[in-house]
Every structure is written in C-alpha cells, then in structure tokens.
Chain A
Amino acid sequence: QKEVEQNSGPLSVPEGAIASLNCTYSDRGSQSFFWYRQYSGKSPELIMFIYSNGDKEDGRFTAQLNKASQYVSLLIRDSQPSDSATYLCAVKKVSFNKFYFGSGTKLNVKP
C-alpha cells in the first residue's frame, strides 16, 4: 500500500468553477500535510500547509484535513487557466521529518 494516494487525473474543470483534489494517506502517525503545485518542467512549490483537523483557507485555496478518515483535500475556487498544473499531496511524520508524496493529480482548467 502506498503511503499517499491521489487520483492521477486529469481533472478538467471550466474556468470559474471549483476544483476539488483529494488525497488519502495510510499512516496515522502523519502529522503535517502539504499541497504542492508543479507546473510542467518546473519544480514543486508549496501552496498550502495544514496540520489541524478542519479547514484552512488562503485566498482561493482551501485545504481540508480529516485525520479520522486519513483524508486531505484541496479546493480551488474560481479556477483559472493559470491553475492548470499537477498538484502533489505530501504528508510528513514530524518525528522523522520524512516527506511522502503522492503521484499527483493533473488539473486542466479550460477557458
């Protein structure tokens, strides 16, 4: 079983819609959760970090964490074509400072 699972997509949404990206993880010892965005040919960049159950909002982005269900999600409101990228979910066990990445979900936002 993989540490972090994501649907590879592609997920296609029209411009202005809400994009919903999901991620599950296997280890209940995971304590920090990250969403990275990676444009084609570029390196991953952090867009959201969450470690407490519930929602965390930053602009058009909302991260949701449910530790009981071992589930993390990312919502992108008012999606823009510039949001088209691969979104990587990462989890970390703080005690080991070791990151586990999902395979990424490719998002296409159509104008």
Chain B
Amino acid sequence: DAGVIQSPRHEVTEMGQEVTLRCKPISGHDYLFWYRQTMMRGLELLIYFNNNVPIDDSGMPEDRFSAKMPNASFSTLKIQPSEPRDSAVYFCASSFPFQGENTGELFFGEGSRLTVL
C-alpha cells in the first residue's frame, strides 16, 4: 500500500507569497494531522481532522495559516502571506483510532521542506 503522500517535497518562495502544501493520507485512515518541525521547537501539531472535519486547530500559529480537507483522500495546508519564520519541514500524518488490533500509530509522509526567503 502507498503511504502518506505529500507534495511538494521542497518549496522555496519569497516572503509574502502564498504557499500550498498537499497531502494524501493512507486509504481508510480517518484521522489526518499536520505537523511542523523545526530545530528550535521540535514537532508541533498544527491541526488535525477526523473524518474530514477539523477537530483541533489550536496549534495553527495565526490567521495566515489555514487547512482544509475536502474529502477523505486529500488535505491542504495554506500559508498566505508566507514569512521567513515559517521556514520548516511540514509533515502530514494519518492514523486509525486505537481500537482492537490497531495501535493508533501515526504514519508520516516524507514531509515538505519550506524555505521562505
């Protein structure tokens, strides 16, 4: 089975530009998470969805960030306008809930490395 698929893998943009990151979760997983990782702050949860509905967006840094999940197989994270401090690796992850034989573990995509100049 294909894992979590993210695009683009690398993005270099200039301050003020709009950035859109994309994610396709593992088929059948009903939870989708967006994380941001930096050396200073580690892995930070930005937002997560259950069955396409946003459950907790308390980690979204500010109004410049938005996320959508229009269907079970696609999600986007948008930054508009982008700033240099947004430079980080953005990971998308998906999971089943913890029940039965499922550990509820997170499966991560390969990440999108964003550099804002």
Contacts and interface: CB of A to CB of B under 8 A. Distances in A.
- The binding surface of chain B is classed by DSSP as strand
B111 interface: yes
A103 B104 contact: no
B116 interface: no
**Size bracket of the B interface:** 20 to 34
Interface footprint category on A: 20 to 34
B48 A98 contact: yes
Main secondary structure of the interface of A (DSSP, over half): strand
B61 interface: no
Interface stretch (B69-77, B80-88, B91-99): B91-99
B111 A97 contact: no
A44 B4 CA distance: 12
B36 to A, nearest CB: 11
Given A44-B43, A97-B95, 6 more contacts: A34-B106, A43-B110, A44-B108, A90-B106, A97-B50, A104-B42
Interface of A: 31-32, 34, 36, 42-46, 49, 51, 88, 90, 92, 94, 96-104
